[in-house]
Amino acid sequence: MTDKKKPVVIIVGAGFGGLSAARALAGAEVEVVIVDQRNHHIFQPLLYQVATAGLSPAEIAGPIRSIVSDQKNVTVVLGRVTGVDTVARTVRVDNSVRAAKLRYDWLILATGARHAYFGNDHWEANAPGLKTIEDATAIRRRLLWAFERAEMTDDPAEREANLTMVVVGGGPTGVELAGSIAELAKAALAKDFRRIDPRKARVLLVEAGPRLLPSFPEGLSAAAKASLEQLGVTVRVNARVMDCGADAVVVGEERIPAATILWAAGVQASPAAGWLGVEADRAGRVKVGPDFSVPGCEGVFAVGDTAAIIDAAGVVVPGVAPAAKQAGRYVGDQIVRKLAGYAPLPAFRYRNYGNLATIGRHAAVADFGRIRLTGGLAWWLWGIAHIFFLIDFRNRIVVSLNWLWSYMTFGRGARLITGMSPARPVAVRQEESRPVDRAA
């Protein structure tokens, strides 16, 4: 708000891409405006831990305002973007106070993705996905209520349905969710119930393709499958989900009664392409040039899960946090150079420092190209990498210590059910007048 003559860079979305773009613009003679519909950045790679009661929301999320509070050229606007006028160069932002049009000189769209149901949007109510803190706490509520219902019911079929958890999708999120649910049931909850044995809960991981973790080398897929099976997870590959109902999932021909169905089978980019009126790929991502610029839209970039890009080496840049951070930094630097009149950066080149996926608390798989690790060593690497990441964005060692501690001690302190009981996912026979249990 200080100097009206400074160029304005609007960044939509305060995920990894947006925040790293903002950081790259620190010190630049620009006004940076971050627009987000939520007040917090989330460390998405650990979101599954919140969903499975291993961590609290505040342990993986930080208020955007405090993350950027020391960067004086940044203003944060809380609101939902509903459109972009690429001719007038304005972004339309709606919030609870008013609708505003913000003028930009440069626009960075880093709006991420939502889970996608590929034409079966009605499955969402029965098989929620995991992208936000609200998603995670809703899934946690659903999971914990299923155990409560299993404890309460006298009907063996209903008990079994409540003790069946199905995760759809064998990518990293699905693998991590399935492993973490199995550990929740087998370790954290094991002693908490009197009528059911939570260790008998059935966790099913369903993948349509021929193997888990398709973005990893085949050997690591096999290792991940073996580790999951050791935790008691049933893995089904080449298995296609035909329906996600209120009380059962249909896999191929088989109907599996299950109170908890979680969706980790695919994502769809945010509607950024629609705002711009430009071409998108099948997953809704904006097709960008080699420097993330959007063809035909002067001054507009798209990064992270919002963008489809092939890098200078011909590599399809994956939709992972490190790639989004690199993209944000690249675009921020590019704007700085253009403003300074320097030659633009060469085409983006993705640096793959390795891929990690964890399976429960004692195993992981890690792919560093030539070096591939599995088991306990990979798990420790995973832990250290995440602490490094967390400190990188929050700079608060207490957070990482806290989550690492509660994670390793199996504390599951975050096992709270807050908010309303979810709609009953299993059709329950009501026996209103029957006195049950201990009733006289």
Sign of CA dihedral 162, 165, 143, 244: negative
Taking CA atoms, 260 is separated from 10, 145, 207, in Å, by 40, 10, 16
From 184, 181, 203, 204, select the one nearest 193 (Cα to Cα).
184
Residue closer to its own copies by CB (options 277, 413) is 413
Q: Confirm or reject binding of residue 253 to its own copies (CB under 8 A).
A: no
Enumerate residues 6+ apart whose C-beta is below 8 A from 25: 9, 32, 73, 332, 335, 336
Site for its own copies in 33-62 (CB under 8 A): 33, 38-40, 56-59, 61-62
Residues 176, 183, 229, 279: which is the catalytic one?
A: 176
Residue closer to its own copies by CB (options 76, 212) is 76
Residue closer to its own copies by CB (options 58, 250) is 58
Residue identified by tokens 């509607």 is 271
Count other C-beta atoms under 10 Å from residue 190's C-beta: 13
* Angle (nearest 5°) at CA 189 between 188 and 194: 150
Residue closer to its own copies by CB (options 100, 208) is 100
From 410, 387, 381, select the one nearest 400 (Cα to Cα).
387
Q: For the window 92-131, what string marks contact with its own copies as x by the rule CB under 8 A?
A: ---xxxxxxxxx----------------------------
Binding its own copies (rule: CB under 8 A), the pick from 49, 153, 221, 358 is 153
- DSSP SS3 for 337: helix
From 278, 264, 267, 266, select the one nearest 109 (Cα to Cα).
278
Q: Confirm or reject binding of residue 432 to its own copies (CB under 8 A).
A: yes
Q: How far is CA 230 from the centre of its chain?
A: 25
Contact between 233 and 179 under an 8 Å Cβ cutoff? The reply is yes
Site for its own copies in 370-399 (CB under 8 A): 396, 398-399
CB of 244 to its own copies, least distance (A): 21
Residue closer to its own copies by CB (options 57, 271) is 57
CB of 131 to its own copies, least distance (A): 13
Which region, judged by CB under 8 A, interacts with its own copies, from 85-93, 264-272, 286-294, 323-331? 85-93
Residue closer to its own copies by CB (options 194, 351) is 194
For residue 167, the cross-strand partners are: 205, 262
Q: Confirm or reject binding of residue 414 to its own copies (CB under 8 A).
A: yes
Token pair recorded at residue 373? 């690790």
Radius of gyration of the chain (CA): 23
Q: Confirm or reject binding of residue 421 to its own copies (CB under 8 A).
A: yes
- Is residue 176 annotated as part of the catalytic site, yes or no? yes
Residue closer to its own copies by CB (options 191, 337) is 191
Q: For the window 170-209, what string marks contact with its own copies as x by the rule CB under 8 A?
A: ------------------xx-xxxxx--------------
CB of 401 to its own copies, least distance (A): 9
Which region, judged by CB under 8 A, interacts with its own copies, from 14-22, 200-208, 379-387, 424-432? 424-432
Q: Rounded CA gap, 312 and 358, in Å?
A: 30
Q: Confirm or reject binding of residue 416 to its own copies (CB under 8 A).
A: yes
Q: Confirm or reject binding of residue 8 to its own copies (CB under 8 A).
A: yes
CB of 391 to its own copies, least distance (A): 14
Residue identified by tokens 């405090």 is 66
Contact between 86 and 92 under an 8 Å Cβ cutoff? The reply is no
- Catalytically active residues, by annotation: 176
